[in-house]
Amino acid sequence: MPWARSASPRSRRRARAGSRRRPGREPCAVPPPRRAPRGGARGASAAPDRRSRAGDIAALRSVADLFRSLDHTYGGGHARQALVRYLEHEAEPMLRGVYGEQTGRRLFAAAADLTRLAGWTSYDIAAHGLAQRYFVQALRLSQAADDRVYGAYVLITMSRQAVYLGHGREAVQLARVAQQGVGSAVPPAVQALLHAAEARGHGVLGETRSCTASLVRAERALEAARPGDEVPGWARFFDEAQLADEFGHCYRDLQQYRASAQHAERSLQLRASGYARSRLFCRVVLATARLGLGDLDAACAHGAEAAQAAGEMRSVRAVEYVRDFERRLEPYRDAGPVRGYRDRVAAYQ
């Protein structure tokens, strides 16, 4: 298949090595956090007169939003190195600076968001050990910020990675720890996000009943959401489009292809164009579902569209989604639609 041929041996080795890396051996941009004492304090190795202010924290938040947008549209590999350098040269000196207790908590929270994003972009390029190290550091920063809800989001991110790696039981456990950590005192959109993550783990394990129950809880939680809810910025992406995407993925894993196709189509109808990688993933889910339903023409059409989008991104996950679809096409490799698919994808490269 075209994508299998286009991947270089070096990239394949890097992807495999990433999944074997041990987090403890990887570098980390942000040092272990030190809680800011009352009345203002100087970090142990702070530079003279380096005082963190509200404007600094706002800058960290704005930079995180910028890198998040780049990640959604172009993939984690597009600006990951720039993000890591920003952590090293801007965020870390702030953490070692002078700040009061309240400012310190806000600073640690902003640094946690950037650090989680560094882990997320590392995960997207298959540097899995490095990603896990960043996630652990983001948890520590969340703890220093006394932000239990964001800590739950980091755990959910780790659960997502476990799903991608096929570690369904670990994914379920991480999602449940996140749920237990925040209880019910969180906005409905956050509750929906937590339950959907657990559903994905059950889906990987083929646990139909548990998967369906978690999806129902996620759906009910999102239905309870209201426009005036104080939803954290990081949870605002979880809307009807995202929920439909979760349903589509779960039903694909459970081999319930008709339901998977219906939800994937709905997600694509609702999803904003800025979430290009998420749309690609959902497009592959739809292609896989159509293949499972015996509609080879539609499957290949959707698959080719996803392959074209993957070629415009720096995302190992995007490439792997397409490769997974191509592996499913192998039994039909001599069929006309599959030959046409190969020709279309070859023209994109």
Backbone angles phi, psi at 41, to 5 degrees: -155, 165
CA angle 29, 68, 99 (to 5 degrees): 50
* Paired residues of 99 in beta bridges: 41
Instruction: Give the pLDDT score at 228.
Output: 84
Half-sphere exposure of residue 335: CA atoms within 13 angstroms, side-chain side: 15
Cα(252)–Cα(13) distance, rounded to whole angstroms? Answer: 28
Exposure b/e, 72-111, CB count within 10 A at least 16 = b: bebbbbbbbeebbebbeeebbbbbbbbbbeebbbbbbbbb
Note the pLDDT of residue 14.
39
- The residue ranges of DSSP E strands in the chain, in sequence order, are 41-42, 98-99
Report how far residue 99's alpha carbon sits from residue 57's, in angstroms, rounded to the nearest whole number.
11
Quick one: CA torsion of 270, 159, 211, 227, rounded to 10 degrees?
Answer: -40
pLDDT of residue 1: 58
Cβ-contact 341, 29 below 8 angstroms: no
Q: What are phi and psi of 316, to 5 degrees?
A: -65, -35
Q: How many residues does this entry show for the chain?
A: 349
Give 10-residue mean pLDDT values along the chain (349 residues): 42 40 42 45 48 88 96 96 96 90 94 98 98 98 97 98 98 98 92 98 99 98 92 94 99 99 99 97 99 98 98 97 98 97 91
pLDDT of the residue at 190 = 97
What are the tokens at 72? 């959604």
**For the whole model, what pTM was predicted?**
0.87
CA–CA dist 53, 98 (Å, integer): 9
d(CA 238, CA 292): 27
pLDDT at 52: 76
Cα pseudo-dihedral 301, 304, 306, 310, rounded to 10 = -170
DSSP result, 3-37:
HHHHS-HHHHHHHHHHHH--GGGS--SSPPP-PPP
Pairwise CA distance, residues 139 & 30, whole Å: 12
